[in-house]
Amino acid sequence: MIRYAKIGYRLAGMAAIVAPLLRESRTWHADQGPEVSELLRPRPAETLDALGYWIDRRRRLPFYRRSDRREAEQMIRVWQERAVHDVPAAPLQALTSGRVIAVGGQVARYHAGRWLTRLSRGALVAATMLALLIVLAARL
């Protein structure tokens, strides 16, 4: 418990340092000219391509490469958050690229597969426990 409290205090300290820097960087970008705003403009096609890449990479990795799979899952979360931000900011560009539908299907399969895996593991544990209880009850 103390360990988690220490981690919480450390994270709160980092947030206190980083938050003002983020606010300052936002105002700095607003003060810059059109070149910087062009660089900061959302590009949903690139975001969706990256998200599709990480979902495909996660699907292709074997189960024993756990750290690589964990990295892919983390990158999927990062790119999904970015897609949620970028696609509504430039919907016409996202729709004309055609990647929204393809990557949307990949995202749906990815999350459905994760839930089915969790559900099947839970069902397996429940069936094992039920079988164990039946065997133990028959011996009594």
Residue 138 has pLDDT above 80, yes or no: yes
Whether the pLDDT of residue 107 is over 60: the answer is: yes
Question: Which residue has tokens 């509504």?
Answer: 88
pLDDT, tens digit, 9 for 90 and up, residues 61-70: 998 999 999 9
Locus of tokens 């495909």: 56
- Contact call for residues 96 and 103 (beta carbons, < 8 A): no
Q: Give the mean pLDDT of 86-93.
A: 68
Contacts 24+ apart (CB under 8 A), 63-68: none
Judged against a pLDDT cut of 90, whether residue 128 lies above it is answered with yes
